Structure 1
Amino acid sequence: MFKYCILLVFAFFVTISQAQSANETHVETIQDSVKKNLFVKGLANGYIPTKYFNFDLRYLIKYNQYEGVRTGLGGITNDTFSEKVRINSYTVYGFRDDMFKFSVGSSFKLNEKTNTWMTLSYTDDLQETGSTKFLTDKRIFQFFEPRLLNIDLFHRHITKSIAFEHRISNNLNAETEFSESYIKPTYNYGYVTKNGVLNTFNLSIAKFALQWSPFKSFKVSETATKDNDYPLITLQYSKSFNDVLKSDLSFSKVDFRTIHKIGKKDGNLSEITLVGGIASGNIPLTHLYHAYPNNIRKETIMQRFSVAGTNSFETMFFNEFFSDKFATFQFKHYLKPFYVTARYKPQMVLITRYAIGDTKEPKRHQNVTFGSLKKGYTESGFEINKLIFGFGLSFTYRYGAYHLSEFGDNVAFKFTFNLTL
């Protein structure tokens, strides 16, 4: 009897030990899975996470016509380092222009409930001439940035800024910034003023931006999950002050953008994007508007073969148009993916884009030549995405008031690239 009792006790402890071991293995598996998911999520957002610091993949390697290969390192501290202080920095080097660029900044959380942050930064880098950045736009990461390959018109800026971010409600965010910048175009350019021609200039600019998602809601869980962010409406006002901190020019800008999506991504989805801007005062080419062109000036269609952008005008040549007031309309309709296999589902997208704009005093911009969009610019086409390894094909045709005499000059035939982790 005693022998059977010993065997029973032994069997009980073996069972408990096996269950505990299995539970530990299960816990370890879950922990490994969580770590893996966090790593993949970080990678999809453009980060390689470490314990205290997340390396930013945006600065690893890029290419453009002015810098050639641009490479460097950058990143930002994470919540393990501090939930109330963020430190971010990057350093890059351009091989063609043989110059280092860098930025360093710190952010401080002032209020937890309203997610209020103050940010101080110092940046010495390049910016594309004619581009507009909304303060409310957070980091944008793409594994591959197609437009960047062909951009050749940049200006250098050395900028010191202080900014505040504040959540007014779950649907409304506000940001404001004051910056002082030294601007030097990398190309031969002069802006005519009453006091002479400026080749470089100092600007002191105040900006205020609002971003509104009227139907945005949250699912309550351990972590807040976005349910519906559209329509997404952004309004921004910028004012450059003359004679404030030795600023040379006085002008103002009002910028607007709305993005709306109707339907489901895995079915029929329509996406509408409206962008507009009005500038007045003494405004140089660096701060005018372009319509995000993405076509290079080469003779044949195949010589212009490159990669299509996300929201760029594929048939519009770089530096072809600049405006002090403009508006663009883009419509994309995603058809339901073609089911070939469970993992191979190409998708067709129908596209139409329209732009209109004008410039009051083009003669004030010396050593550059550009056209006006006052007649209205139109292009339409289609994409077939995810044909192989995330790559697809795009075909776009330019027609209407700015149709060119040679048929081939109106056509853009390009790759597309869509990769989802």
Structure 2
Amino acid sequence: MLKICTLVFCFSFGLVQAQNSAFHFFEVEQDSIKKNFFLKQLGNGYFPTKYFDFDLRYLVKYNQYEGLRTGLGGVTNKNLSEKFKINGYTVYGFRDDAYKYSVGGSIRLSQSTNTWLNLSYTDDLQETGSSKFLTDTRFFQFFEPRLLNIDLFHRHITQAISINHQLHPKLSTVAQFSVSNVEPTYNYLFNLNNTLYDKFQFSTATLSAQWSPFSQFRIVDNLYENIKEGYPKFTLQYTRSVKNVLKGDFNFSKLDFKTIHRHLHKNKNVSEITLVSGMARGDIPLTHLYHAYPNNITKETILQRFSVAGITSFETMYFNEFFSDKFTTLQFKHFLRPFNISQRYKPQLVLISRFAIGDMNNPERHENVTFGSLRKGYTESGFEINKLLFGFGLSFTYRYGGYHLPNFEDNIAFKFTFNLTL
């Protein structure tokens, strides 16, 4: 009897210990999942709370027109609802002493095709000559270096309605219709048939599609989840502005294309090629034309131009130096395998070469601004040494070819880089 009692006691004690260990393992696993989710959201630029994710993009920024720009924004998450979202932000610029804001909402029309109907109202600034693809996934940087030196903005009040629809796991589409009132913040006139415009109204329809033929997906909770990024990726976007529809001022069209290809070599080096091209036709002000994402300020010496290099920008091209109504850029980056100096210290050398070509019809239409064309072809090459200290590194780029400048040091861009991975 004593032996049986002893066996029962040992078995019961072992069972309790096993249960405690299982609960402890479950708690540790849950904590690990929560931590990974939090870091993932933080890396995407969100600070998650129970029902609302704060958008870190609006906390602190700086540019030449607004000076310090700060505010709050975010979006509701699936804990509040999986069928609708509410998003918005408000920011204040200290130099221009003005508030900007946006408010919007989305309703899910279909879960299987990830179809959402979106409405938004935005009163904010946009960089002149910049353009974006509606299907681009969210990209977040803790520090956005190009913003520091941008000074050519236009104010826009835009009302937009759009539909996101997954035609196929490898094909995403967005269709949008918007009405915008645009006013440049700088002295600019658009001369169209001897009529001078200093403010513009646009009624535009845009269709954007992104095709990822080599990516791999799996179904999770009736939704397609990307499990492997495949390359190349292709994006095509068409925009049409119509005159006299909801008071639109101009007829024009834009066709934009982008492809990215990334190749992992056997020695763990990575090569990346990005091609971006755009073409605009019709009566189109400078605000909606193209630049090649320059990132160099007009100062006399190399050290005075010392700033922070961008991710895809032309480091030796000066701000507002070129504008185009048709252009193509080609960027090549070769990432060498990180130097394994220690477990935590692994700087990386990146070889870079960039090329841009473009032109503009009727440049005389754009009054009170001075700029050149890219018809001779613009080239720059250089290298980066990233993650030397606390995410900071160094960049050196040299400008040559058709737009090589007479003064040797004016062709050189020497800058910081900043790469932080959570």
TM range (shorter): over 0.9
Which residue of structure 2 lines up, in the alignment, with residue 276 of structure 1? 277
Report the Cα distance in structure 2 between the residues aligned to 1:264 and 1:303, rounded to whole angstroms. 38
After superposition, the C-alpha distances for 1:60-87 in whole angstroms (9 at most, x for unaligned) are 1111111111111111111111111111
Report the Cα distance in structure 2 between the residues aligned to 1:188 and 1:376, rounded to whole angstroms. 29
Which residue of structure 1 lines up, in the alignment, with residue 204 of structure 2? 205
Q: What code does the residue aligned with 2:421 have?
A: T
Q: Counterparts in 2 of 1:17-56, with a 5 A limit?
A: 17-56=16-55
Which residue of structure 2 lines up, in the alignment, with residue 367 of structure 1? 368
Q: What code does the residue aligned with 2:382 have?
A: G
Q: How far off is 1:20 after superposition? A: 2.1
| Gap change, CA 1:324 and 1:150, over 3 Å in 2 | same
Which residue of structure 2 lines up, in the alignment, with residue 73 of structure 1? 72
Report the Cα distance in structure 2 between the residues aligned to 1:265 and 1:178, rounded to whole angstroms. 46
Instruction: Give 3-state SS (helix, strand or coil) of 1:161's partner.
Output: strand
Q: How far off is 1:385 after superposition? A: 0.9
Report the Cα distance in structure 2 between the residues aligned to 1:29 and 1:74, rounded to whole angstroms. 32
Instruction: Give 3-state SS (helix, strand or coil) of 2:213's partner.
Output: coil
State yes or no: 1:315 paired with 2:316.
yes
- Does structure 1 conserve the Cα–Cα contact (< 8 Å) formed by 2:215 and 2:226? no
Report the Cα distance in structure 1 between the residues aligned to 2:168 and 2:266, rounded to whole angstroms. 27
Note the aligned Cα RMSD (angstroms). 1.6
Q: TM-score, normalised by structure 2?
A: 0.96
Q: What code does the residue aligned with 1:59 have?
A: Y
Which residue of structure 2 lines up, in the alignment, with residue 356 of structure 1? 357
Between 230-239 and 260-269, the greater mean CA deviation after superposition:
260-269
Q: Counterparts in 2 of 1:206-245, with a 5 A limit?
A: 206-218=205-217, 224-245=225-246
Between 260-269 and 332-341, the greater mean CA deviation after superposition:
260-269
- Does structure 2 conserve the Cα–Cα contact (< 8 Å) formed by 1:219 and 1:227? no
Instruction: Give 3-state SS (helix, strand or coil) of 1:276's partner.
Output: strand
State yes or no: 1:158 paired with 2:157.
yes
Q: How far off is 1:343 after superposition? A: 2.0
- Does structure 2 conserve the Cα–Cα contact (< 8 Å) formed by 1:349 and 1:382? yes
- Does structure 2 conserve the Cα–Cα contact (< 8 Å) formed by 1:109 and 1:118? yes
- Does structure 1 conserve the Cα–Cα contact (< 8 Å) formed by 2:275 and 2:329? yes
Which residue of structure 2 lines up, in the alignment, with residue 95 of structure 1? 94
Which residue of structure 1 lines up, in the alignment, with residue 418 of structure 2? 417
Report the Cα distance in structure 2 between the residues aligned to 1:337 and 1:220, rounded to whole angstroms. 34
After superposition, the C-alpha distances for 1:338-368 in whole angstroms (9 at most, x for unaligned) are 1211222111111111111111111111111
Q: How far off is 1:213 after superposition? A: 1.1
Q: How far off is 1:27 after superposition? A: 1.3
Between 285-294 and 6-15, the greater mean CA deviation after superposition:
6-15
Which residue of structure 2 lines up, in the alignment, with residue 249 of structure 1? 250
Which residue of structure 2 lines up, in the alignment, with residue 402 of structure 1? 403
Instruction: Give 3-state SS (helix, strand or coil) of 2:323's partner.
Output: coil
Q: How far off is 1:18 after superposition? A: 2.5
Which residue of structure 1 lines up, in the alignment, with residue 131 of structure 2? 132
Instruction: Give 3-state SS (helix, strand or coil) of 2:215's partner.
Output: coil
| Gap change, CA 1:118 and 1:266, over 3 Å in 2 | farther
Report the Cα distance in structure 1 between the residues aligned to 2:177 and 2:255, rounded to whole angstroms. 16
Q: How far off is 1:255 after superposition? A: 0.6
| Gap change, CA 1:317 and 1:21, over 3 Å in 2 | same
Report the Cα distance in structure 2 between the residues aligned to 1:263 and 1:7, rounded to whole angstroms. 62
- Does structure 2 conserve the Cα–Cα contact (< 8 Å) formed by 1:322 and 1:359? yes
Which residue of structure 1 lines up, in the alignment, with residue 301 of structure 2? 300
Aligned identity (percent) is: 64
- Does structure 2 conserve the Cα–Cα contact (< 8 Å) formed by 1:242 and 1:249? yes
Q: How far off is 1:201 after superposition? A: 1.1
Report the Cα distance in structure 1 between the residues aligned to 2:380 and 2:130, rounded to whole angstroms. 21
Q: How far off is 1:221 after superposition? A: 7.0
Which residue of structure 1 lines up, in the alignment, with residue 111 of structure 2? 112
Structure 2: give runs of 5+ residues left out of the alignment.
none
Structure 1: give runs of 5+ residues left out of the alignment.
none
- Does structure 2 conserve the Cα–Cα contact (< 8 Å) formed by 1:267 and 1:337? no
Q: What code does the residue aligned with 1:46 have?
A: G
